[in-house]
Structure 1
Amino acid sequence: MAYNKIGIVGATGLLGQELTRALVDEGYDVVPFSRQTTTVAGLPTQVLKSLVGFDVVISTVGHRGMKEQIPLIQQAKRDGVKRFVPSEFGIDPRAPAAQADFFKPKREVFAALKAADFIDGWTAISSGFLDSVIPAFATFDSTSSTVKIHGNGDLQYPFTVRYDIGRILAYTFKHPKQYKDTWLAVANEWLSLKEIAQIIKVKSGKELLMENVGLDDSTPVLRLLEENGWSTFSREDQTIDLPAKLADLKDYIDV
């Protein structure tokens, strides 16, 4: 394979854990980084000091830590990392939503990434909403036999399984020239929250009520999108020729 040693920053997060697991399964030498020593996918985490000897660094930090990627990008460049994968998961910066003030840190990080000019460039994945957020968007309450969905629930959004992102990245690392400075827009399926509520209803085998609840600070991105009629990326930009068959998203919707 073209690359071997992969560092994952933010590895203890929900996305970082799944990317670590997928890349380990694909046979890569993965080092998960975190501020405190623990284990991820059976691997001990390390405190980030040097990136010398790493072929690729993947950042999976959340929105709050987005600008922390700028010094990370600069260190990776100094230490000779060949390729950087920024934490662009979610909103595609080419989409109208990305121009909102809320996403200004994403734009600043990407400018720093291009300025760094890594020898093998970067690969970025826009994933829409990850499977891990579904319970927050459509919450099953067994005590009241209710599915509570945020907003009106009518708009369809792309949802993506985290493990599949790791599988796709693993393939791109085997073909560095093909995926240099490349965007991939990945979706296992486009679903509205009402459609997700219906899936939960069928899986539960119960007659569930659906309750619409307001959009608030617990779902800031969903609120921003719905209030403006935006999506995380457009269907036209979705990558069709993905190098791996994606999982059935319905298998990741639990009750």
Structure 2
Amino acid sequence: MTTRTRVLLVGATGETGSSIVDGLLEAGHFDVAALIRPRSMIKPAIATLRERGVEIRSCDLQASEEDLVQALKNIDVVVSSIAPSEQESQIPLAKAAKKAGVKRFVPCGFITVAPPGGIMWLRDEKEKVYNHIKQLYLPYTIVDVGWWYQLSYPRLASGKIDYAMTIANDEIIGDGTAPTALTDLRDIGRYIARIIVDDRTLNKMVFAYNIVMTQNQIYDLLEEVSGEKIERNHVHEETIVHRVLAARQSSETYPFDPLKFIPRYIAEYQLSWGIRGDNNPEYAKYLGYLTSKDLYPDFKHSDFKEYLEMVCQGTAKGIYTGRIASKAQQRSFPRTESSDSLFSRGRTFPRTESSDSLFGRV
């Protein structure tokens, strides 16, 4: 008889969290629970989780340590996939997990490969949590997943795939030859179902990815699948660095302002995977990751061409389409003071010692 593992998910109704729910339930040997804020208990998505057999535990991440420990009672593994702005809220959860005897804590990684220390603010926010987990001596696994299929392709002039898109994604970064690792969002949960019961991944970082492609190859493939010609809009290295510096200046506000930080996320992602070339398996191994290809050579991932065919046929599921800043029909983020400062063309920033550190690895 297969031993059942009791898993608690934080962020179970988000894009990544939903994939993890699917993967764990499909595997069949997990008892799945979801930690839900009390104010969110009436949402339809929570009722849907219950109907699928997910246990609902009501507790806020800002609750007392005693309440959090109680919410984690009899849990083997905690998997967090919370919003980018909430990373540090995992710190009290980790403390409670230690007290509750949780056997493995999977903090909210699930991004592209990038080194810590000034390349991506989001990566550095996550590293604060990782360091705290290690100080607690809490068993952990960090999982990153590369760039999603669902975010990797450009729009078509016909507009027929706009329904599935979050942003226009109409730029080729640099010359478009930087290889970047891609993963289908739908596969993330299937990877997690293997990783969290694998002794080899305990106290390790894992890079779970499907394929490696360049932007030029992605454009070529979408042209083949769609039969449409796609304009190649190259954005040069200096422009990306300019955007990063402008976005960082604009986002130096507190409390967190999504309209300022979303442009920063985009610019720093473009810098990391598009200019520096961080998001690839070779660099991941250099940084100390185990890779899904080495761990699970039998894993059958979703085919990228088949996914693009679904997109063109109108049968793919859109992502983030219910959020104000991500409606497919907008095709870009609304013009605001913060986005103007990101995309303006009149300002320039001189090369300095600090800006030099943003450029590609040498």
Specify if TM > 0.5.
Answer: yes
In structure 2, the residue matched to 1:125 is: 143
What CA distance in whole angstroms lies between the structure 1 residues aligned with 2:170 and 2:96? 44
1:221 matched to 2:230? The reply is no
2:36 and 2:57 in contact (8 A); partners too: yes
Which of the pair has more CA radius of gyration? Answer: 2
2:187 and 2:301 in contact (8 A); partners too: yes
2:172 and 2:232 in contact (8 A); partners too: no
In structure 2, the residue matched to 1:154 is: 177
SS in 2 for 1:89: coil
Structure 1, unaligned runs of 5 or more: none
Change (3 A) 1:109 1:8: same
In structure 1, the residue matched to 2:26 is: 25
1:207 matched to 2:223? The reply is no
Shift of 1:2: 4.7
In structure 2, the residue matched to 1:169 is: 192
Shift of 1:129: 1.2
1:79 matched to 2:100? The reply is yes
Shift of 1:181: 1.0
Change (3 A) 1:31 1:242: same
AA aligned to 1:89 is F
Shift of 1:194: 2.2
Q: 2:294 aligns with which of 241, 245, 249?
A: 241
AA aligned to 2:156 is F
2:76 and 2:103 in contact (8 A); partners too: yes
In structure 2, the residue matched to 1:139 is: 155
Q: Which has the higher strand share?
A: 1
1:47 matched to 2:47? The reply is no
AA aligned to 2:230 is L
What CA distance in whole angstroms lies between the structure 2 residues aligned with 1:154 and 1:233? 12
Moved more, 16-25 or 198-207: 198-207
AA aligned to 1:6 is V
Change (3 A) 1:55 1:34: same
Q: RMSD of the alignment, in Å?
A: 2.9
Shift of 1:77: 1.6
Q: Which has the higher helix share?
A: 2
Shift of 1:178: 2.9
In structure 2, the residue matched to 1:69 is: 90
In structure 2, the residue matched to 1:56 is: 77
1:183 matched to 2:205? The reply is yes
Q: 2:131 aligns with which of 111, 114, 128?
A: 111
SS in 1 for 2:110: coil
What CA distance in whole angstroms lies between the structure 1 residues aligned with 2:47 and 2:208? 23
AA aligned to 1:229 is R
Aligned residues: 247
Change (3 A) 1:208 1:7: same
Moved more, 54-63 or 35-44: 35-44
Shift of 1:46: 4.4
Report Cα offsets for 1:164-219 as digits up to 9, x if no partner.
232222123443x3322122212211112222122221221233333346755262
SS in 1 for 2:7: strand
1:3 and 1:55 in contact (8 A); partners too: no
Q: 2:219 aligns with which of 197, 205, 208?
A: 197
Percent identity of paired positions between Structure 1 and Structure 2:
24
2:149 and 2:185 in contact (8 A); partners too: yes
Change (3 A) 1:112 1:209: same
